[in-house]
Chain A
Amino acid sequence: MSVLEIRDVSRWYGNVVAVNGITMTIGPGVTGLLGPNGAGKSTLIHMMGGFLSPSSGQVSIDGQRIWKNPSVYRHIGLVPERETAYDFLTGRQFVRAMAKLHRLPNPEAAAERALGMVEMVEPADRTVGTYSKGMKQRVKMASALVHDPPVLLLDEPFNGMDPRQRLHLMDLIRKMAAEGRTVLFSSHILEEVERLAHHIEVVVAGRHAASGDFRAIRRLMTDRPHMFVVRSSDDRRLAAALIADPSTRGVELTSGGLEVEAVDFRRFSLLLPQLARQADIRLWEVAPADESLESVFSYLVAS
């Protein structure tokens, strides 16, 4: 059982602050690091992997500092985001080489065990360059698991994977966590995190926006006021009908249609078509105005 500790960590590049005063503790099980692109997730993972020094603060694993301390790699397995992984080696040669670099007593056996865990024994004699994205991700995972580390860091592991590969990798990550490992993965896709992680850490614009059980955070996300743009055959009458119901807090009549602020998302989404039908109004367009992850996240930060 290992614990990653990030204490009051900031990282800046010149005048740009990538990570701003983040404190979090990551223990056994699956933790999802969620945030929009450019939020500082990779910077955080790079600091946890010892590739980047924190500008201030401390990143440690079980009390040992990570930066400039290669001995921590006995306890950490890292799966980088980038795809390249010695494309000219076969999967087996690659994983074996990693086992040898760890100076494991029996690198061949360790490599076979790791390849078996990710179900890559069969294609292991093909060169890495010929693998699909999912296979590359799995062989990278095998290379990170070859020394049986208690901590596994995965940087955007699902990027570019098809749904089948995604499910497979999710199963694998769950298995790793069930064995008592501390698994952290980053993602900018809420659904991925939701399906996999019990615990999530949300990072927005370099700041720690939320932390905890994903259900609680998900509720925060769905319970927030939603903005919709609605265009119909009679915007003014529709506006009057909508504002009469408590699910709608505000309606603005604009040249581009109605801008509706709904406070009860479920009720509003059921109500709108019913009202339109009763009043014989045709709906031309109903579009969420603020469904982007960024706006969801900024709502979280504000609350």
Chain B
Amino acid sequence: MNTVIASITFRQMLSRRRALLLFLLPALLLFLSIGLRVSGHSDLDNATMLLTQFGLGALLPLLALLAGTGVIAPEIDDGQIMYIMTKPIARPVISTTKFAVAVVLVVAFGVVPIFVSGIIMTGLTAGLATGFAIGALVAGIAYCALFIAIAVLSRFAVTIGLIYALVWENLIARYASGAKTLSIRQWGISVTDLVTDATAVKAGVGTSTAVPLLIVVTVAGVAYAGWKLRTLSITGTE
């Protein structure tokens, strides 16, 4: 970890226009959960549906995509990363710091709002809010690792990430049960299921599969990003 790189990255992430999305998505979740609460529909089933479909299904992967790619991809694109890379700092330190920043952003704008949304709807009943918060945390970490690895690998990281989150996880994994095994979202739900007593939470993947895969994706993603950054070529404008 390098605090200078971290603070520059934070400022960069929060000063961009697309940082607005970081605020908008969680605001929408909180708005919807307040709506359910006020209208008297905030039972465990509805809360589970909102947190699964919108919280883990949309908010979390999109935030992680914004954060995971945003902490490094634009800097590689515009060559600004040169200023960090021309320092006597091991390259894996750079990528690990970027990863840590992405995780902090996902926690602040994804995990915390998911927890608060759970509390608003169901209080501490059945450990639903805590379960979703922990599920979102582990899934968010894995998403960030995956997206940062894609960001140093390809210029089309955002597109690839969107295809994974929207097409693979939301479409293919819904109909093909085998595809669920390779869905970070499902791994997150599996961890949520482990923590909460609510029967409405139904995991498509067992914890014995989900937890090792979460660890593998996280470790592999961070390690790959560091390795790739060591040999990252920046070509000129000619």
Q: Which residues of A contact B (CB under 8 A)?
A: 13, 37-38, 40-43, 45-46, 49-53, 68, 70-71, 73-74, 76-78, 80-82, 84-86, 88-89, 97-98, 100-103, 143-144, 155
Q: How far is the CB of A286 from chain B (nearest CB, A)?
A: 33
Contact of B4 among A50, A84, A100 (CB under 8 A): A100
Contact of B83 among A40, A71, A98, A103 (CB under 8 A): A98
Per CB-CB distance, the 3 closest pairs between chain A and chain B, nearest first, are A42-B236, A101-B87, A51-B234
Cβ–Cβ < 8 Å partners of B237 in chain A: 42, 81-82
Q: How far is the CB of B16 from chain A (nearest CB, A)?
A: 9
| Bound CA span A13–B237, Å | 14
Please tell me if the beta carbons of B238 and A38 are within 8 angstroms of each other in the complex: yes
Q: How far is the CB of B227 from chain A (nearest CB, A)?
A: 11
| Bound CA span A100–B236, Å | 27
Q: Which residues of B contact A (CB under 8 A)?
A: 2, 4-5, 8, 11-12, 15, 78-80, 82-91, 230-238
Cβ–Cβ < 8 Å partners of A144 in chain B: 86
Known: A50-B86, A86-B12, A86-B83. 5 other contacts (CB 8 A): A40-B238, A78-B82, A84-B80, A88-B12, A101-B2
Cβ–Cβ < 8 Å partners of B233 in chain A: 46, 51-53
Residue of A nearest to B5 (CB): A101
Please tell me if the beta carbons of B238 and A37 are within 8 angstroms of each other in the complex: yes
Please tell me if the beta carbons of A82 and B79 are within 8 angstroms of each other in the complex: yes
Residue of B nearest to A97 (CB): B4
Q: How far is the CB of A61 from chain B (nearest CB, A)?
A: 13
Cβ–Cβ < 8 Å partners of A41 in chain B: 238
Please tell me if the beta carbons of A70 and B82 are within 8 angstroms of each other in the complex: no
Contact of A102 among B88, B230, B232, B234 (CB under 8 A): B88
| Bound CA span A37–B12, Å | 32
Please tell me if the beta carbons of A80 and B87 are within 8 angstroms of each other in the complex: no
* Among B4, B84, B235, B236, residue most surrounded by chain A Cβ atoms (within 10 Å): B236
Cβ–Cβ < 8 Å partners of A101 in chain B: 2, 4-5, 84, 87, 89
Q: How far is the CB of B180 from chain A (nearest CB, A)?
A: 39
Contact of B79 among A70, A84, A143 (CB under 8 A): A84
Please tell me if the beta carbons of A84 and B78 are within 8 angstroms of each other in the complex: yes
Residue of B nearest to A44 (CB): B236
Cβ–Cβ < 8 Å partners of B5 in chain A: 101
Residue of A nearest to B233 (CB): A52
Please tell me if the beta carbons of B87 and A102 are within 8 angstroms of each other in the complex: yes
Contact of A52 among B12, B79, B80, B234 (CB under 8 A): B234
6 contacts between A and B (CB under 8 A): A42-B237, A70-B88, A78-B82, A80-B79, A98-B87, A101-B4
| Bound CA span A15–B190, Å | 49
* Among A45, A51, A100, residue most surrounded by chain B Cβ atoms (within 10 Å): A51
Contacts A37-B238, A51-B85, A73-B86 given; does A68 touch B15 at CB 8 Å: no
Cβ–Cβ < 8 Å partners of B238 in chain A: 37-38, 40-43
Q: How far is the CB of B159 from chain A (nearest CB, A)?
A: 23
Cβ–Cβ < 8 Å partners of B82 in chain A: 49, 51, 78, 80
| Bound CA span A89–B83, Å | 13
Q: How far is the CB of B168 from chain A (nearest CB, A)?
A: 31
Contact of A68 among B79, B230, B234 (CB under 8 A): B230
| Bound CA span A262–B238, Å | 34
Please tell me if the beta carbons of B236 and A43 are within 8 angstroms of each other in the complex: yes
| Bound CA span A37–B236, Å | 11
| Bound CA span A51–B80, Å | 12
Q: How far is the CB of A221 from chain B (nearest CB, A)?
A: 22
| Bound CA span A121–B204, Å | 61
Cβ–Cβ < 8 Å partners of B87 in chain A: 70, 73, 98, 101-102
| Bound CA span A80–B81, Å | 11
Q: How far is the CB of B149 from chain A (nearest CB, A)?
A: 19
Cβ–Cβ < 8 Å partners of B79 in chain A: 80, 82, 84
